Amino acid sequence: MSDHRDKGQAVKLNEHCLTFDLQSPNLGYKYQPCHIVKGTLTYDQWVAYCKRLKQTAEKLVLDCSYFRGNLQYTLSKLMKALETQCCATDFGLRKRLNELSAARDALEWEKQKVKETVVDLVKEMQKVERQIMSSGSEQQLAHTRLDVLAQRTNYELCMDQPHIALLQETKNPRKNTFGLQKKLLLSQKTLETIHMNLFTLGDSLEAKSRALDIDRRCQEIRQSLLPLRGTTVVTSNTSAQEPLALRSPLSSSSSFGN
């Protein structure tokens, strides 16, 4: 910076010298104008210094160009890796959304089937209850008939065919009623188990729906925050392998000392 400032000042002084002519009002004698100031360089020393300064500046420009090329190449690789990771993340999110949606649909279908099973089982239990009530009525009818036949007297009170048939009817409904009650009890236990499974399915379905909503919001937020993806990607570091495409301003057709 000091060299640049000194050269700028020297240019201004040289230009100021060119403004003087024989008609200038500020002409006059100066004290020891031919005295060489201490530290004054020869022209050859000045040219050599300028050449070294020019070479140093050109080397810095070249190094900066190489560094810029390496930086651009590294950034392009990072952007490409980030793009790949973004695509993988998007694919993973879409896959998870599809899996969650399929799982939720399967749970909803299973829940509907369980509800239909509950309805069928309740109808079957109601049918069994009606059969039990009907069996009790038949048994009461048989008991009443046996009681009436037992009122016969003397030789008429015998184990004839009607009496035997009524005794058989009394035994059969009792067995049927016991079997129906056992079946009804088993159906009630089955219904309780199905209700517990239905409650578990409801919790699982709610959890799946909540997870699906969270993932969808996550995907929406991600899409809104993702920057616009560029299409230009540098695939090789050409700046560090080739010379500068543009010549430095320090490189001119008229170099020092030529």
- Give per-residue pLDDT as tens, 30-88: 777 777 778 888 889 889 988 998 899 899 999 999 999 999 999 999 999 988 988 89
For residue 137, tell me if it sits in a domain.
Answer: yes
Residue-number span of the structural domain to which 138 is assigned: 41-225
Question: What confidence category does residue 144 fall into, taking pLDDT thresholds of 50, 70 and 90?
Answer: confident
Domain count, the chain: 1
What pLDDT shows up at residue 175? 67
At residue 5's C-alpha, the angle toward residues 2 and 10, to 5°, is 125
pLDDT digits (tens, 9 = 90+) for 157-199: 777 777 777 777 676 666 667 777 788 788 888 888 888 888 8
For residue 9, tell me if it sits in a domain.
Answer: no
Q: Is the pLDDT of residue 135 over 70?
A: no
Q: Is the pLDDT of residue 234 over 50?
A: no
pLDDT digits (tens, 9 = 90+) for 108-133: 898 888 888 888 888 888 887 777 77
Question: What confidence category does residue 229 fall into, taking pLDDT thresholds of 50, 70 and 90?
Answer: low
For residue 242, tell me if it sits in a domain.
Answer: no
Highest mean pLDDT among 102-106, 137-141, 149-153: 102-106
For residue 22, tell me if it sits in a domain.
Answer: no
For residue 232, tell me if it sits in a domain.
Answer: no
How high does pLDDT run on average in the chain?
78
Which contiguous run of DSSP H or E holds residue 74? helix 43-149
Q: How far apart are CA 177 and CA 132, in angstroms?
A: 6
Q: Is the pLDDT of residue 149 over 80?
A: no
Indicate the SS3 state at residue 204. Answer: helix
Which long-range CB contacts under 8 A does 48-51 form with residues at least 24 apart?
48/257, 50/256, 51/255, 51/256, 51/257
For residue 72, tell me if it sits in a domain.
Answer: yes
For residue 23, tell me if it sits in a domain.
Answer: no
Q: How far apart are CA 91 and CA 85, in angstroms?
A: 10
pTM of the model: 0.49
User: What's the CATH code of the domain at 125?
Assistant: 1.10.287
254 or 48, which is more confident? 48
What pLDDT shows up at residue 245? 42
For residue 237, tell me if it sits in a domain.
Answer: no
Contact 248, 58 (CB under 8 A): yes
